[in-house]
Amino acid sequence: MQFRDVIGQEAVGEHLVRMADAGRIGHALLFTGAEGVGALPLAMAFAQYVNCTGRTGGDSCGVCPSCVQMSRLAHPDVHFIFPVNKSKTAEASGNVEGDKPVSDHFMHLWRKQVAEAPAPGYFSEQAWYRTIDIDNKQGFISRHEAGEIIRKLSYKAFESAAKILILWLPERMNEQAANALLKILEEPWENTYFFFVSEAPDRLLPTIVSRTQEIAVPGVECGALALWLAGREEAAGKDAGELARLSFGSVTEALRLAAEGADEDEHFTLFVQLMRLAFEDRHMQLLEWAETVAGMGRENQKGLLENILRLLREAYMLSIGMQEVAYLHGKELEFCRRFAPYVNGRNIEALVRETERALLHVVRNGNPKIVFTHYALLVSKLIVRI
C-alpha cells in the first residue's frame, strides 16, 4: 500500500511523510477515523514508507524488497493484529490452537480481505467478521494475543530497520490485553512502532490513549471522493457527487449507497416496520417484530440499531427544516419526509437515549428477546401522535 493508493487523504499523508523524513515518528501512533475514511490504508502506507529503501516523491518506491513484501502483507518486520474469534473456517483449515484464536491463524484471510475489498484496505468490521465466519460472534483481541505481540516484538528486526505493529480496532481489546501492553508502550524497544487504527477511540482505556500520538483522519473530501467514484463500475449511471455527499466522506458507505438496488435494505425495512407499528400502537405485532430481530446475529442487531440512530437523526433534521444537512436519498428520504412530524423536540432525546441503551445491552450480550421487546414497546410510547 502506497500513499497514492489512499483515497483523498493527501494532507494526512504529507504530514506522515514529514514526520518520517525528520526522524520524529512517535513510538505509538493512534490513527482515528470513522469506518471507510482510510485510517487503515494510511497506517499500512506509512508502515511501507518507514521501511522503504528507495523513497521518492513523498512516497515509498513500491519496488524495493521491503515494498514488495508489504504489498503482499508478508513483511517479516510488520505484524498485523485484528479482532478474531472462534471460526469454523479456521478450524476446518487446522489453524486454531484450542480455544485461543489469534490473528496469525487468520492472516491468509486478512490478506484476502485487504486485497479483494472494492477499494483495497477499505472494509467494515462486519465485512471482516463475515470473511472469517465467526457465527455472529463479536471479534475481540485477547490477553493471549497481547502476549503474542510482546513475543514477536521482542525479536530483533529480520530485514528492515524498524519493527512495526499495526493493530486494527484496538477498542476490541479486553482490559487484560490493554493492561498487558501498557508496559511495552511505556518502555518500547528501539525502532519499534505501534500503529493503532481506531474507529472508536473513546472506548480505549485512557492509559492507552495517553501513551499515543493521535493522527486524526477526517472524512474524504467530497470532491475527491466523487472523482474516485466516477471511475468505478459500481457507480455507473449514479450521481457521484450526490453519493459522495450522502456518505459522510466514507468510501465504504459510498460504495454501499452505489450498490443499492431496487430492494429495500433489511435494516431500513425493519426500521419502517417498527415506526409504523409503534405509531399504530399494535403491541402484538411489536412483540413479533422484537422476536424477529432477536433471531438475527449480534452484529446484525448492532447494525440495525446503529441505522435506527442514523435515521432518527435524519428524520429530526427534516422535522426542524434543516434539509440541507439531511443525508438521505431514495426510499429512506421518501419515508422520513412523511415520518418527520412524529420525531421532534419532545421525543428525539428519549428515542436516541433508548436506542443507545438497547445497543449497549446488545454489545454486553443482553438477552435479545428481552432487550428488543422492551425497546419496541418503549418506542411505541415515545412516538408523538399528532
What is the DSSP secondary-structure string of 65-126? HHHHHHHTT--TTEEEE--B---HHHHHTT---TT---GGGGHHHHHHHHHHSSBTTB--HH
Q: Are residues 168 and 309 in the same domain?
A: no
Q: Are residues 242 and 334 in the same domain?
A: no
Which cell numbers in the block locate residue 361?
445491552
| Local mean pLDDT, 10-residue blocks, the chain (386 residues) | 95 96 94 96 97 95 96 96 83 55 93 93 92 83 92 88 95 91 88 95 92 95 91 77 82 82 66 91 92 87 89 89 72 85 90 94 91 95 75
CA angle 381, 384, 385 (to 5 degrees): 105
Q: Are residues 183 and 271 in the same domain?
A: no
Q: Are residues 173 and 253 in the same domain?
A: no
pLDDT at 208: 93
Q: Are residues 103 and 196 in the same domain?
A: yes
Q: Are residues 54 and 196 in the same domain?
A: yes
Q: Which of 204, 233, 259 is where one domain is finished?
A: 259
CATH number at residue 363: 1.20.272
Q: Which of 181, 200, 216 is where one domain is finished?
A: 216
End-to-end Cα, the chain, rounded Å: 55
Domain that holds residue 315: 266-382
Q: Are residues 139 and 189 in the same domain?
A: yes
pLDDT at 264: 43
Q: Are residues 360 and 247 in the same domain?
A: no
Structural domain count of the chain? 3
pLDDT at 28: 95
Element (H, E) at 215: strand 213-216
Say how far apart CA 257 and CA 39 lie, in whole Å: 21
Q: CB of 215 within 8 A of CB of 19?
A: no
Phi-psi region of 250 (alpha: psi -120 to 50; beta: other; left: phi over 0): beta
Helix axes 266-279, 298-319, angle to 10 degrees: 60
Q: Are residues 147 and 49 in the same domain?
A: yes
